[in-house]
């Protein structure tokens, strides 16, 4: 999408990751080893990158928000960065920072206003910083994920004063409770502030607006918990990673025939998932979008493939031609999904005895083989990308031996 400052549209960021210190060798980003800390380290490193970008953005936001007392407030934040790091790893704030890398015009100003007020509000509720800042211009809504509520603000809302442990001037705001616990710390989010949520790369989808699809929230919670429990039982390492890097699940409707899920590189930690009656489908969605989240965190730190965006190749897993970036995302995710199927077979799980289970496992296996062949033939990986592809190849070989031959699925 081309830059359009007059209309405030979102522009594609072609700059790639900012330089960071070299990543440690990747061994288990596809399927974690027991006790793995790889994903937690990626969350920490990606948050660190966001934090380096925040100071100039907040200064720009202070001008857009007509803030007073900003300099002293910003110095206080810098002196005690712990609470800021806690907040900026969450997608409702880190996602705004990433979106601002490529947002121009009126849309940029709106995001800056939202960033400052949301950040200041949540920091105040956490008890810091030890300084006072007053803001004249606020967004129409503040999503306070850490506090698990939302504020609807009338007009510009100002002036509002943020200080350590208190906020003054928001007494007329309306409070909503759009967050429901799925499994701590993961929340079902009935509202979302990702500015890219309605931009969709899949040709058969139309964005990801939050919607319960006519179902009750408790039905969503029950389904998501059942599916996550299946992951925890059969692949507990992946269940632990869900809690390490997923904050929000945004519901995007119900369909008994078709399932849709998505993540955005700019908002790692938010999963967009539709409700489906089959527990296996929902369990796959957890693992699939968790895997995308991990790669999105990695893309913050390393380009992974030197030819990630061009040219396009036929995809074994999508109806549209895909760049190698998309093929990598798909195979990486479905290798982890195949690990769930393997573990369920090992346990003789009741769901593994049905014919559709074997057919689905076979289809995933074949798609992985085709996708990995495309990557092996065409990809030009970075050092980090080479390590990732090597791990993926090891798992593919394991599944080829175990599933393709031992179970005659190939």
- Which domain does 222 fall in, by range? 178-287
Give a yes or no: residue 6 inside a domain.
no
Q: Does 54 lie in the same domain as 173?
A: yes
> 135-173: per-residue pLDDT in tens?
999 999 999 999 999 999 987 677 999 999 999 999 999
pTM metric for this prediction = 0.91
Domain count, the chain: 3
Same domain, 277 and 357: no
* Distance in angstroms (rounded) separating the CA atoms of residues 135 and 159: 5
End-to-end alpha carbon distance in the chain: 41
Residues 55 and 173 in one domain: yes
Residue of 218, 217, 351 whose CA lies nearest to 284:
351
- Give the list of residues 6+ apart from residue 15 with CB closer than 8 angstroms, or none: 101
Per the domain annotation, does 201 fall within a domain? yes
Q: Do 199 and 235 reside in the same domain of the chain?
A: yes
CA distance 104 to 340: 43
Examine the fold and report which residue of 287, 316, 345 is the final residue of a domain before the chain moves on.
287
pLDDT at 95: 97
pLDDT < 70 stretches in the chain: 1-22, 156, 199-206, 316-318, 404-410
**Which of 256, 287, 318 is the last residue in one of the domains?**
287
Looking at the DSSP bridge assignments, the partners of residue 161 are 134, 168
Query: Same structural domain for residues 274 and 243?
Result: yes
Q: Is residue 28 part of a domain?
A: no
**Residue 225 sits in the same domain as residue 121:** no
Do residues 58 and 168 share a domain? yes
Please tell me the distance from the alpha carbon of residue 261 to that of residue 248, in angstroms, as a whole number: 13
Give the per-residue pLDDT at 119: 98
Residue 8: what pLDDT? 29
Whether residue 98 lies inside any domain: the answer is: yes
- The rounded radius of gyration (Å) of the Cα atoms in the chain is 22
Q: Does residue 187 sit in the same domain as residue 170?
A: no
Residue 328 included in any domain:
yes
Is position 57 within any domain? yes
Plot region of 388 (φ>0 → left; ψ -120 to 50 → alpha; else → beta):
alpha
Closest CA to 130 of 167, 75, 93, 89: 75
Identify the CA nearest to 155 among candidates 176, 166, 169: 169
- DSSP states of 64-88 as a string? HHTEESHHHHHHHHHHS-HHHHHHH
Domain final residue, candidates 177, 197, 228: 177
Q: Say what the pLDDT of residue 321 is.
A: 84
pLDDT of residue 51: 96
Classify residue 14 by burial, with Cβ atoms within 10 Å: 0-12, 13-18, 19+: exposed
Do 148 and 193 sit in the same domain of this protein?
no
Same-domain pairing of 346 and 382: yes
Judge if 219 and 236 occupy the same domain.
yes
Q: Is the peptide bond before 129 cis (omega within 30 degrees of 0)?
A: yes
CA distance 8 to 176: 29
41 burial type by CB count under 10 A (0-12 exposed, 13-18 middle, 19+ buried): middle
Helical (H) or strand (E) element with 357: helix 355-378
- SS3 state of residue 324: helix
Distance in angstroms (rounded) separating the CA atoms of residues 273 and 253? 8
The Cα 21–Cα 330 span in angstroms is 28
The answer to the question of residue 109 being in a domain is yes
* Residue 30, domain member (yes or no): no
The C-alpha atoms of residue 108 and residue 9 are separated, in whole angstroms, by 8
Does residue 183 share a domain with residue 249? yes
Rounded CA-CA distance 394/376 in Å is: 13
* Residue-wise pLDDT tens digits, 382-393: 999 999 999 999
Max Cα–Cα distance, the chain, nearest Å? 69
């Amino acid at each position: 999408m081309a830059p359009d400052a007059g209309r405030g549209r979102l522009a594609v960021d072609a700059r790639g990751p900012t330089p960071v210190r070299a990543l440690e060798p990747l061994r288990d980003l596809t399927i974690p080893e027991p006790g793995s800390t790889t994903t937690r380290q990626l969350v920490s490193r990606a948050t660190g990158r966001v934090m380096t970008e925040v100071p100039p953005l907040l200064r720009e936001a202070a001008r857009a928000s007509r803030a007073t007392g900003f300099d002293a407030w910003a110095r206080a934040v810098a002196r005690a960065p712990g609470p800021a790091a806690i907040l900026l790893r969450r997608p409702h704030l880190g996602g705004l920072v990433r979106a601002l890398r490529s947002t121009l015009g009126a849309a940029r100003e709106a995001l800056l206003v939202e960033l400052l007020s949301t950040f200041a509000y949540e920091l105040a509720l956490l008890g810091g910083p030890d300084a006072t800042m007053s803001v004249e211009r606020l967004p129409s809504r503040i999503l306070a994920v850490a506090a698990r509520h939302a504020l609807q603000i009338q007009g510009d809302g100002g002036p509002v004063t943020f200080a350590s442990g208190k906020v003054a001037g928001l007494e007329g705001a309306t409070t909503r409770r759009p967050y429901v616990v799925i499994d701590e710390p993961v929340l079902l989010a009935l509202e979302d502030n990702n500015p890219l949520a309605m931009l969709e790369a899949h040709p058969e989808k139309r964005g990801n607006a939050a919607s319960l699809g006519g179902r009750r929230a408790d039905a969503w919670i029950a389904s998501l918990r059942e599916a996550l429990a299946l992951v925890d039982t059969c692949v507990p390492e992946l269940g632990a990673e869900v809690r390490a890097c997923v904050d929000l699940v945004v519901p995007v409707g119900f369909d008994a025939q078709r399932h849709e899920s998505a993540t955005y590189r700019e908002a790692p930690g938010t999963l967009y998932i539709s409700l489906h009656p089959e527990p296996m489908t929902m369990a796959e969605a957890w693992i699939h979008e968790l895997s995308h989240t991990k790669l999105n965190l990695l893309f913050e730190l390393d380009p992974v493939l030197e030819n990630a965006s061009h040219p396009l190749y036929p995809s074994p897993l999508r109806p549209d031609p895909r760049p190698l970036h998309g093929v990598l995302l798909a195979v990486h995710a479905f290798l982890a999904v195949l690990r769930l199927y393997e573990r369920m077979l090992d346990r003789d799980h009741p769901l593994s005895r049905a014919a559709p289970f074997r057919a689905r496992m076979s289809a995933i296996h074949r798609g992985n083989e085709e996708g990995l062949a495309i990557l092996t033939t065409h990809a030009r990986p970075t050092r980090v990308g080479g390590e990732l592809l090597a791990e993926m190849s090891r798992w593919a070989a394991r599944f080829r031996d175990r599933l393709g031959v031992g179970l005659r699925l190939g």
